Amino acid sequence: MPGNYRLRVSAAGFAAATVDSIRLLVNTPTTVPVRLELGSVSETISVSAEATQINTVDATVGNAFGTKPILQLPFEARNVVGLLALQPGVTYAGDNLPNSYRGGNVNGGKSDQANVTLDGVDVNDQMDRNAFTSVLRMTPDSVQEFRVTTLNATPDQGRSSGAQVALVTKSGTNELHGSLYHYHRNTATTANDFFLNSAGIERPKLIRNIFGASAGGPLIKNRLFLFGNYEGRRDARDESVVRLVPSLELRQGILQYLRTDGSVVRITPAEIASRIHARGVNQAALRVMQGYPNPNDITVGDGLNVQGFRFKAPTPLRWNTYIAKLDWLVDSASKHTLFVRGNLQNDRQDHLPQFPGMQPNRVDLRNNKGIATGLTSVLRPNLISTFRYGLTRQGFENTGIAKFSPVTLRGLADPVGLTRGFAAKIPVHTFAEDVSWIKGSHTVQFGAVVRIIRNERITDQNSWSSAVSNASWLVDSGAGLTRPFPDMAAGWLVPFRFQASNVMGLVTQGTARYNYLVDGTVLKEGDPVLRNFAAEEYEMYVQDTWRISRALTLSAGVRWSLLPPLYEKNGQQVSPNVRIGEWFDLRGGLAQQGRSQLEAGRISFVPRDKGGRPLYPFHKKNFAPRLALVYSPQGDSGLSRFLFGGPGKTAIRIGWGMYYDLFGSGLMRSYDATAFGLSTSLVNPSAALDIGDAPAFTAIDQVPRSLLLPGPEPKWPATYPDAFAITNGLDDTIRAPYNMSANFSIAREFGGGWFAQVSYLGRFSRRSLTRRDVATPTDLADPKSGQSYFQAATILARQAVANTPVAQVQRVPFWENFYSRAATPTLTATQVVYQRFVANLWDWTYALYQLDTPRGFGGCDLRNRCSDLGPWAFYHPQYSYLSVFSSIGGGNYHGGQLTLRKRFAGGDQIEANYTFSKSIDLRSNVEREASATGVIWNPWQPGLHRGVSDYDNTHLFNMYGVYSLPFGRGKRFASGAGRLLNALIGGWEVSGIWRWSSGFPISIFSGSLWATNWNNWNWALWKGTPFRTKTTKNAPAIAGPGGPNMFPSPKEALDAFEPEYPGGIGTRNPIRGDGVFNIDSSLSKRFLIREGHSLRLVWDAFNLTNTVRFDVFDASLNITDEGTFGKYSTTLSTARVMQFALRYEF
């Protein structure tokens, strides 16, 4: 337990030695050298311990924070867990994006793998697992110690592969201590957001008050102590957002596009009816468009038909935090100590409305609470037992506002809020026992942890059907909407089709949702769905720290985890009749043999209680060994002392460890929404409707019933229909993902409190959970010629791009062998197939769709014949896209780190950390992310996705410090100052945080062009031509007004990329945008009222220099968005905010 300790050592023939003021930090090994002198036992020699900065026990990486930096460093929202961002090797995505998966990545690890404990008890967010987050909010005034292990945690700590964050709540003491405080922010001292300022909108309102009180003291002197803290936060604030709205011309039914020569063309409603289709403009759709606010922002949209509307609106916040801790010394000898700690929160936060004047899209309500108790027993002088139990209950509700099935317009923001309600209660019970046994030169530790997790949730998110006007769902991906305009620039084809479909009111895509109970009961549309998931974790560990000599220490151990699969307690759980991973392998095997996908069979589902399998296997063999060797030279003279500073002043450490990833919450989310037969979503097949066939838009709440496929009968097994569906699933062949980490470091402590450490750190992830589309069309192989589909299709695609005449296209054996019946007297089979590629330029998966699907799906139009294998030789009839998590990911991280630290008396310190690193993986998204950008698009060749991680920061630097100015009574300067002078010059303290990083990498996207995957766009392919990247605040746009852009010449950059070819996935992360630059500062003045009582005035400034750094992740980087290509629309940094505080401390 952290605190100040006294150590007494005695031995026969020697005088007893007592070392006072030993400061022990949480989870931080400390070595205290003691020298015994000859003398009688009755003699005692007392010394005071020096603060040690050298770890000579193990190879853990990470720094501890004491009370002073926790209280005095300027932290946004006083979030203590945010101290994690000050560790070396931790990525930071800026204050605007605290929960981005690109922030909180520790030494190359995923941001959702951090493990946060409070007083030894689990306080992780079981739903989102965001970095820098504890379910139980800890205030700076309630935290005694904070320790982060960023790499190579010991077996007693390393539950997961990420950072191990340990917090300890303050305890009461024999002296009454506490504080009263009030922190205030005001609009008057707040700078405006960059984009609001550009749009001529005044700065958002910000009035924040954080207030509270803490106190700790004895209830019974020397035996029973109490500490308590209350903190409230009230925000009266505005937030801003930009939404896509129709341009003034579009809401009149006028479409615009850019010609290849750069000129703008306007298509009037009359021309739409005469040149595109006689059904013309849809008046109901126009009325909806005319209800949008007028645009005021040109950083988003296509610049002509779609623009931005940026606005601010109130988002009030009300938080209450209650913390109490009781400590009891059970016996007078202090051999048994017991604590009980309780936490309670009561929070409400309103979110932005869809547009001004509307109600908030949602209101978040949270009432997280927790209780923990721990008993530490000194059973013998060399045997210590620590038992802990904790209940952490996460409870929250997100109120939705939509209670109907909507019809939306693709490419435009929803005209009204369409959020749904969601509520959950997640209790986590933690039982932990740790035993430490010292035997000679060995310190043996062993223990066990049991976690019982329940997740009861209710939502109507999947209870309503929906429809959308989506041009991509039309025949030929909506090419009929642009075919009358041959002069249209290639980058305008897709965005024009979307808005033409919207203006004409073509409702093309419908999603029908049906919910059932496992007993066959059918829920009505809109009825909320209840689930109660359960999970358990059982872990044991043992480790031995062997002090081989004073100079050499070996630490070895192993952690064993037993992880049963999560399950639904009420039996609302189904599994497929075949293992999805094996089904995928079967599809690939059939393709390699040149056989049809129909031979893979259909997937059906059965309940768990009717013969179904668990969601994934019971992982029983998760053994994670750890090893560390530490050498601390003991030479006290000569060259050894010169190089190493003397005994205990240098540590050379090497470590290796294996760590398993935590997973489950993302699987649960994916499964919960797509458990066919229980929660069923059916999408009508794409490419079955032409312009004249699509149902007409009538109103936002009128879904055309003809688009909604009928639900399955409530019986088992439930077989997914041949609907060519787009959905998610669960691969029950997943294996436990793990990381191996290694580090080598040399640490040296110098005189005057200086400390330096240089380190190498490596992380090697294996079997990472990564999404892949197991329904991707296969790379069918031709046994006769040896050619595969990707090879043969690329030959034709390149000729189509080159506009090669049909007559000049030579025979390709693959097409001649598989499509022999397509030949005509005048055209070869290859030339007939080639015409499909020309008609679907860059949309190669749609060309294949026409070649492979039966007539009822709008395909096989090659003389009404499919391949010689028949229909479905490449695709599978049930799914066009089936995204599942699989254990196929992996990556490597190598980093070099340098830490410099200077400690002063009284807890002051300054530290600087620099990291030079590179992280490579297949995919970087965390498990909670279900977006298409995190999917392996070509699972037949997953290695194509390998590249620098999305969160790769080549350079990371941070510096922070807390320093008391040396002026005034008792200080270096004016130490004898009188009362008045001391009040003026004494008690001044400064602190600050400086963060800087190189830019985040990003990919260019091909837009709505599908080269390889039916549902996911590819990255664009870099052609190898040079282009420049440099943030320019007013770069010229290709179309429309200029603005902040990541390219000084967007046209030059756009021309350097092209869409991909069949089988390819494009170029991953070839460019980098802005990195982080941020300085937060604090200046305070302490006034002594009387002994032990003081008043402190504080002035904090966040983003002191008001530096703007743009967020490349939200830049317009689709090559089909020519008008806004490269434009930024959001920032990494927040505008400067000042905060003032008054603290009374006693």
Residue 1042 reports pLDDT greater than 90: no
| Digit-coded pLDDT (tens) for 956-984 | 999 999 999 999 988 889 988 888 898 89
| Digit-coded pLDDT (tens) for 373-397 | 999 999 999 999 999 999 999 999 9
Please, which residues bridge with residue 605 across strands?
Answer: 576, 718
**In the chain, where are the structural domains located?**
3-48, 789-870
Question: 777, 246, 242: which is closest to 469 by C-alpha?
Answer: 246
Mean pLDDT value across residues 566-571: 91
Residue 502 reports pLDDT greater than 60: yes
| Mean pLDDT value across the chain | 91
Residue 20 has a pLDDT of 58
Q: Give me the percent of the chain exceeding a pLDDT of 70.
A: 93
Instruction: Kindly report the backbone phi and psi dihedral angles of residue 723, in degrees, each rounded to the nearest multiple of 5, phi listed first.
Output: -110, 5
Report how far residue 461's alpha carbon sits from residue 342's, in angstroms, rounded to the nearest whole number. 34
| Digit-coded pLDDT (tens) for 134-165 | 999 999 999 998 888 999 999 998 789 999 99
Q: Give me the percent of the chain exceeding a pLDDT of 90.
A: 75
Lowest mean pLDDT among 154-158, 425-429, 611-615, 744-748: 611-615
Mean pLDDT value across residues 328-343: 95
| Digit-coded pLDDT (tens) for 416-466 | 999 999 999 999 999 999 999 999 999 999 999 999 999 999 999 999 999
Residue 1134 has a pLDDT of 92
Residue 215 has a pLDDT of 98
> Judging by beta carbons within 10 Å of its beta carbon (0-12, 13-18, 19+), is residue 167 exposed, middle or buried?
buried
Report how far residue 116's alpha carbon sits from residue 134's, in angstroms, rounded to the nearest whole number. 7
Residues contacting 320, CB < 8 A, separation 6+: 230, 231, 232, 233, 345, 346, 347
pLDDT band at 37 (very low <50, low <70, confident <90, very high): low
| Digit-coded pLDDT (tens) for 913-956 | 999 999 999 999 887 665 556 899 999 999 999 999 999 999 99
Report how far residue 680's alpha carbon sits from residue 727's, in angstroms, rounded to the nearest whole number. 10
Residue 479 reports pLDDT greater than 70: yes
**Orientation angle between helical segments 789-801 and 844-852, nearest 10 degrees:** 120
Report how far residue 1092's alpha carbon sits from residue 1096's, in angstroms, rounded to the nearest whole number. 13
> Judging by beta carbons within 10 Å of its beta carbon (0-12, 13-18, 19+), is residue 100 exposed, middle or buried?
buried
Residue 44 has a pLDDT of 39
Residue 48 has a pLDDT of 38
Contact 30, 38 (CB under 8 A): no
Residue 664 has a pLDDT of 79
Compute the chain's Rg from CA coordinates: 32
Please give the DSSP secondary-structure letter assigned to residue 493.
H
Lowest mean pLDDT among 304-313, 714-723, 921-930: 921-930
Chain centroid, CA 630 distance in Å: 35
| Digit-coded pLDDT (tens) for 101-117 | 888 899 999 988 999 99
Residue 858 has a pLDDT of 56
Strands 725-728 and 552-563, by their bridges, are unpaired
Report how far residue 1037's alpha carbon sits from residue 1041's, in angstroms, rounded to the nearest whole number. 6
Contact 158, 659 (CB under 8 A): yes
Please give the DSSP secondary-structure letter assigned to residue 1118.
B
Chain centroid, CA 542 distance in Å: 32
Residue 865 reports pLDDT greater than 90: no
DSSP line for 1103-1115: STT----B-GGGS
| Digit-coded pLDDT (tens) for 43-81 | 434 343 445 678 999 999 988 787 888 889 998 878 887
Helix (H, G, I), strand (E, B) or coil at 581: helix
Residue 840 reports pLDDT greater than 50: yes
Count CB-CB contacts under 10 A for residue 1027: 19
Chain centroid, CA 907 distance in Å: 34
Report how far residue 80's alpha carbon sits from residue 69's, in angstroms, rounded to the nearest whole number. 10
Residue 673 has a pLDDT of 66
Contact 489, 265 (CB under 8 A): no
Instruction: Kindly report the backbone phi and psi dihedral angles of residue 848, in degrees, each rounded to the nearest multiple of 5, phi listed first.
Output: -65, -35
Helix (H, G, I), strand (E, B) or coil at 806: helix
DSSP H or E segment with residue 588: helix 580-592
DSSP line for 749-786: E-GGGEEEEEEEEEEEEEEEEEEEETTSPP--B-TTT-
Report how far residue 372's alpha carbon sits from residue 326's, in angstroms, rounded to the nearest whole number. 10
**Orientation angle between helical segments 283-290 and 493-503, nearest 10 degrees:** 100
Residue 1001 reports pLDDT greater than 70: yes
Residue 906 has a pLDDT of 83
Report how far residue 340's alpha carbon sits from residue 328's, in angstroms, rounded to the nearest whole number. 9
Helix (H, G, I), strand (E, B) or coil at 640: helix
Angle at 884 between CA 882 and CA 888, to 5 degrees: 125
Report how far residue 449's alpha carbon sits from residue 121's, in angstroms, rounded to the nearest whole number. 10
Instruction: Kindly report the backbone phi and psi dihedral angles of residue 566, in degrees, each rounded to the nearest multiple of 5, phi listed first.
Output: -70, 155
Question: 1116, 1028, 1066, 1007: which is closest to 489 by C-alpha?
Answer: 1007
Lowest mean pLDDT among 9-18, 306-315, 348-357, 361-370: 9-18
